[in-house]
């Protein structure tokens, strides 16, 4: 009986070692923190490491896969930089509610090689956390209502729009990613 117990403890410790070890390794590869603006495209980043939410903490985001692989819902095309970096395209190509432009040519990877090109601003430079009044939050009208685009709304609208469409086109993806599904928070956020 005692030997069986010792044996079981050894087996469970080995499993825990492997499971915890691999979780630590995979989150450890997402270490990069983003400066307020920059010209170097990040690879694996951690967003929201300062989350004020009681339950939901940081979000790992792979900038490399999202800007190189065919992650558009059609599964065939690469997402344009300006789908996410929406202020980095000329005013005339913007569609409401997008009206603010800070660049006269659409952002591309090649554009950033030019030493004269302006750096890319991080979303957080404009989309502050709710309760941070150091700068006015952008406001849009959605379904007839005014909506303040804090960091939560900005990223959620951006990430969910595409993830929802991608899952609709390819239902198997629901096992891996989540969009507006109220039960899918842990597919992006680390639970506190
Ligand atoms: C230079 C400031 C600035 C930066 C940087 C910025 N935004 Fe915005 N964002 C705005 C403003 C201002 C609005 C309101 C609409 C407008 O004026 O274009 C807005 C609106 C939005 C909206 C709501 C409208 C829509 O397109 O659905 C989303 C979502 C959004 N931003 C996401 C992001 C994400 C994601 C990033 C980073 C990849 C980002 N923003 C970077 C200023 C910014
Ligand atoms: C799926 C959305 C998405 C796409 C597509 C995308 N980015 Fe980003 N990008 C982000 C997010 C999110 C960040 C993280 C920083 C932040 O919070 O704004 C970022 C950060 C950056 C940064 C660093 C900014 C800083 O503050 O240091 C650069 C440079 C950049 N992106 C360039 C590009 C270029 C060039 C492309 C196209 C080849 C591109 N991005 C495509 C979402 C995207
Ligand atoms: C234009 C579409 C699009 C946008 C915008 C987008 N994603 Fe994704 N994302 C995808 C697709 C498609 C996959 C799954 C690809 C596959 O496995 O086939 C994915 C996968 C992921 C994964 C799994 C790991 C990986 O990189 O493959 C995470 C985590 C993720 N997305 C987080 C985010 C976050 C956070 C945002 C917003 C900042 C975001 N995504 C914005 C399309 C998008
Ligand atoms: C597709 C990935 C994704 C999913 C799914 C997701 N979130 Fe988020 N969430 C983000 C990103 C990215 C941010 C903002 C990152 C930043 O500000 O740097 C964020 C920010 C937040 C914030 C703001 C925290 C703060 O103080 O900065 C809250 C609260 C939040 N999410 C709650 C939720 C809840 C609740 C769910 C499930 C119903 C959920 N999220 C699902 C990606 C996601």
pLDDT in tens, 107-150: 999 999 999 999 999 999 999 999 999 999 999 998 999 999 99
Q: Counting atoms of ligand 1 from 1, which one is nearest the CA of 155?
A: 35
Closest residue to atom 11 of ligand 3, CA basis:
71
Instruction: Indicate if the pLDDT at residue 8 is higher than 80.
Output: no
The whole-number average pLDDT for the span 21-46 is 74
Q: Is the per-residue pLDDT at 76 higher than 80? A: yes
Burial group, residue 8, by CB count within 10 angstroms (0-12, 13-18, 19+): exposed
**In this predicted structure, what is the pLDDT of residue 26?**
46
Unique residue bearing structure tokens 């044996």: 7
By residue count, the chain amounts to 192
Kindly identify the ligand whose nearest atom is closest to the C-alpha of 108: 2
What pLDDT score does 9 carry?
45
CA distance 78 to 184: 25
Ligand 3 binding residues, C-beta < 6 A: 59-62, 65-66, 71-72, 79, 83-84, 155, 158-159, 162-163, 166, 173, 176-177, 188
Q: What integer pLDDT is reported at residue 82 of this predicted model?
A: 98
Q: Are 75 and 169 in contact (CB under 8 A)?
A: yes
Q: Is the pLDDT of residue 83 over 70?
A: yes
pLDDT of residue 28: 52
pLDDT band at 34 (very low <50, low <70, confident <90, very high): confident
What's the average model confidence in pLDDT over 24-35? 63
For residue 18, the tally of other CB atoms under 10 A from its CB is 10
- Greater confidence (25 vs 184) lies with 184
């Amino acid at each position: 009986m005692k030997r069986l117990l010792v044996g079981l403890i050894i087996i469970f410790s080995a499993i825990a070692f492997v499971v915890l070890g691999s979780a630590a390794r995979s989150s450890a590869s997402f270490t990069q923190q983003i400066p307020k603006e920059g010209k170097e495209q990040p690879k694996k980043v951690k967003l929201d490491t300062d989350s004020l939410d009681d339950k939901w903490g940081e979000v790992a985001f792979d900038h490399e896969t999202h800007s190189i692989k065919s992650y558009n819902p059609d599964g065939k095309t690469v997402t344009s930089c300006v789908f996410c970096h929406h202020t980095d395209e000329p005013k005339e190509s913007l569609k409401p509610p997008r009206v603010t432009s800070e660049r006269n040519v659409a952002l591309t990877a090649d554009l950033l090689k030019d030493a004269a090109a302006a750096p890319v601003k991080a979303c957080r430079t404009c989309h502050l956390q709710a309760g941070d009044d150091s700068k006015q939050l952008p406001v849009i009208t959605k379904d007839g209502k005014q909506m303040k685009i804090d960091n939560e709304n900005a990223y959620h609208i951006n990430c969910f729009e595409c993830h929802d469409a991608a899952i609709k086109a390819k239902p198997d993806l629901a096992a891996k990613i989540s969009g507006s599904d109220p039960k899918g928070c842990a597919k992006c956020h680390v639970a506190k």
